Structure 1
């Protein structure tokens, strides 16, 4: 220290030194505080970035699981449309719904890396199973389309076959009816004569006879040739109709009933004839056993319920 320096001067110097020191200390403290605040801000920024990144990963996982749930529900609907059910698929949808609840329960920044990895791996496995199931469903649809096409083709063939069978049956029925019509026998040259009480046969070109002299009526005719009708025993029916239209009918003289055009009718006599397609002659001889009525009489001849021929004669 300079011995010549005054005390007042030395005091001023000390105060200046203290002031400068204080300023330097304050500047140092401010620098430290600034540094610390800067570090704290950087840490907060890093933390905010990490929280945002975690939240972003969380939202991505939520969207991914929502999409997976929607896809699995779509698969379930497609299987139902195919008439199928899948319990394992229902359980998988329930599992995804539970995972979604867990994901949505995480608080901001709490979705750890380990949890991210866990849900990511599970989502990857679910997507793999989803693709495989889509392939299976696509194959089922192709199989169903093939089966539908084959079934439709078979139905079309069946319908055609049914139509063909129906056509053949109708044709056969028509042919049968035509053959039936063609095979009907016809009575040719129907002749009527009477037998008197003295057993004399009388005929008249006018087909007129005296009623009181008639004991029996004789009807004769030929069976016309028919190459279609089978050679077999035929039942020939005679109907002798009186003037009022009633058929002479008596069980004791061979009368009875038969069917004509779906209706029951009386016949006067019948006989079995072995048809040989030779224009063979058939004769009926009928005795009423009582006096005949005067007036026009009708003779009808039938075979198998079909009219073969008819003629008339008059008793006066």
Structure 2
């Protein structure tokens, strides 16, 4: 009987061992399951962090691209106003450098510190951008005001120029009228001849015998003129023979002067102080040789303008 009962304790021990082994295995599996669960959660968290970082990196890149576009716009506006844009070019260079660095990041390496740093730099750039926009707006307003003021001044200058031109033209017309009005007139022109015996002869028909003429005497009065200044006037007398040539001799007081821009000969001249009293003037001319027969003309000039004319005949 004792030999039959001896295997039972061994079987019990074996069962206990198996149960213990099963429990250990279950524990290990539980631990492994838990660890796998934790690892899965960690991977999901890591993946979520990467997605978040990638979104923030893309957002930061877009922000810098927008800043770049705005600074390029400002640079063009400043350049369009003819101003230097060196400071804007320097900012664009900084933004391009930051963009290049941002695009070189991987989402996993875009740390929180880097995010904060680039976000702060972007905020600084935005503040500078707003300040520059205010300056540009003020410059545009100043330029517009200056343009309006310049346009107004030009309009006033043009009106003033027109007014001055009108005044100058009016003065010129007035001067021309005064010049015309101030011209002297030779009145009561009379011709007489003097023979070799110093006897003078006058004829209402102004006809004389040539062989008896030694000198030609021309007398007239300077007509009244309240416009012409009282001053010394130079009177020229031209004695024109029948062939159309003016008698001219330096030794007897002849010379040249200008008539309507052309040079002409005068026979004699004298200075007369005009006093506006219808004062008489006389020319006495001796040719020193025989006179030609035919129609002679006497022309009187003052200031290059004819003031009187008459004719006489020598037969």
Shift of 1:198: 2.1
- In structure 1, the residue matched to 2:193 is 194
- In structure 1, the residue matched to 2:130 is 131
Q: Secondary structure at the match of 1:218?
A: strand
**Residue deviations 1:211-238, cap 9 Å, x none?**
1111111111111111101111111110
Q: Secondary structure at the match of 2:228?
A: coil
- In structure 2, the residue matched to 1:286 is 285
Return the alpha-carbon distance in structure 1 between the equivalents of residues 246 and 30 of structure 2.
148
- In structure 1, the residue matched to 2:219 is 220
Structure 2 spans left out of the alignment, 5+ residues: 6-10
Q: Secondary structure at the match of 1:136?
A: helix
Shift of 1:36: 3.9
**Residue deviations 1:163-209, cap 9 Å, x none?**
11111111111111100000000011111111112222122222111
**1:88 and 2:99 correspond:** no
Q: Structure 1-normalised TM-score?
A: 0.90
- In structure 2, the residue matched to 1:232 is 231
Return the alpha-carbon distance in structure 2 between the equivalents of residues 164 and 31 of structure 1.
109
Q: Secondary structure at the match of 1:272?
A: strand
Shift of 1:31: 5.5
- In structure 2, the residue matched to 1:297 is 296
Return the alpha-carbon distance in structure 1 between the equivalents of residues 54 and 265 of structure 2.
108
**Residue deviations 1:234-261, cap 9 Å, x none?**
1111000011111001111111111111
Shift of 1:14: 11
Return the alpha-carbon distance in structure 2 between the equivalents of residues 114 and 297 of structure 1.
120
- In structure 2, the residue matched to 1:105 is 104
**1:252 and 2:251 correspond:** yes
**Residue deviations 1:244-288, cap 9 Å, x none?**
111001111111111111111110001111111111111111110
Return the alpha-carbon distance in structure 1 between the equivalents of residues 277 and 96 of structure 2.
98
**1:142 and 2:141 correspond:** yes
Shift of 1:108: 2.9
Q: Secondary structure at the match of 1:229?
A: coil
- In structure 1, the residue matched to 2:264 is 265
Return the alpha-carbon distance in structure 2 between the equivalents of residues 194 and 35 of structure 1.
158
Return the alpha-carbon distance in structure 2 between the equivalents of residues 20 and 296 of structure 1.
173
- In structure 2, the residue matched to 1:9 is none
Shift of 1:38: 3.4
- In structure 2, the residue matched to 1:170 is 169
How does 1:10-21 map onto structure 2 within 5 Å? Answer: none
Return the alpha-carbon distance in structure 2 between the equivalents of residues 163 and 272 of structure 1.
43
Shift of 1:153: 1.3
- In structure 1, the residue matched to 2:159 is 160
Return the alpha-carbon distance in structure 1 between the equivalents of residues 88 and 197 of structure 2.
110
Of 98-107 and 40-49, the range deviating more from structure 2? 40-49
- What is the aligned residue count? 313
Of 284-293 and 26-35, the range deviating more from structure 2? 26-35
**Residue deviations 1:51-73, cap 9 Å, x none?**
01001111111111111111112
Of 22-31 and 57-66, the range deviating more from structure 2? 22-31
Q: Secondary structure at the match of 2:109?
A: coil
Of 85-94 and 204-213, the range deviating more from structure 2? 85-94
Q: Structure 2-normalised TM-score?
A: 0.90
Return the alpha-carbon distance in structure 2 between the equivalents of residues 243 and 158 of structure 1.
60
- In structure 1, the residue matched to 2:67 is 68
Structure 1 spans left out of the alignment, 5+ residues: 7-11
